[in-house]
Structure 1
Amino acid sequence: PKEQRAVRDMLRRRMQLVQLASKQLLSIQNQIWRSSGVRVSSSQIKKKSFEVTLLRHHLKTAADTNLRIFRSIQSEIKLLEEEAEQAIEAPKQLDLLQTMTGIGPVLGLTILLETGTTARFETVGDYASYCRCVQSLRESNKKKKGEGNAKSGNKYLSWAFSQAAHMAVRYEP
């Protein structure tokens, strides 16, 4: 719906910031690992008390810069999430989506706003295809004959569902 597009676009910016924050986090981990041989978990780096103490001189300066950028991005992500949650009243479908492990309020809202009305999809398969959750492979006699348009569909929904799957694997016993 037209009135929800601005919030949808804001959640798309959030997705970009999440990816950028992940790059900063990995950069810090890799710098510490390459220079000191010590593995530092992402949960350790995310703590407010974390400081880069294993590195010296220029390497420490570079890692500290990445850490400040990471923390700045995290605060911007939080602002976007708060604004998105305030901008739209939670529809009933959001409660249903959140019953799935891995889908919280922000990811659920992203899925709802990217999907729009489900009435526009004739079948469940059409929706799965739109979400890029199915392969576009053509086979005959167990031989690959080609691929369809693998980039067709909504890349943001694809990302959202892959995030949900990743979270489910991490947190569902």
Structure 2
Amino acid sequence: VTLIDTRNDYEVKLGTFSNARDPRTQSFTEFKDYVARLDPAQHPKVAMFCTGGIRCEKASAYMLQQGFKEVFHLKGGILKYLETVPEAESRFNGECFVFDERVSVVHGLAEGEAVLCRGCRNPMRPDEAVGSLCRECAEAAPAGASERERQMELARARGEAHLGDDAAAAAARN
């Protein structure tokens, strides 16, 4: 069985199933290009998964149209798996990116440790962060970015926001 993670590269980076293939897509529209490089004769059985199951339903139908004979997908996606499969029995490694304020979840759908890069908005593990940026954004940051990081740290130390409505309210109070 060929196991395919149908999610985008930034999602796969946080976590995936053991032995899953990463198509290295930046958007789901690139999945067709990945499938075009696969030979249905060499991959007679395909299993795939995604975050919640919707992307897999579309990908499964597409692969069947392209001549793949047996195509399966994880019903309910990784989220249902993490909700129902005990961690001790799990084959999922890492965290699952989610499109809400939690950023990522782990088994039992508990909030994970991942944070979003303030530059590219991609998820990253805390140990990958350079301030509030991922390494790639920190290396490409223009002059003044380190000062912005310093100001953000000072605001955090004061228990205040650096940007947004909360920061505007704090400035008005000051």
TM-score band by shorter chain is under 0.3
> Higher strand fraction: Structure 1 or Structure 2?
2
TM-score (norm 2): 0.26
Greater RCO, CA 8 A, separation 6+ = 1
> Higher helix fraction: Structure 1 or Structure 2?
1
TM-score (norm 1): 0.26
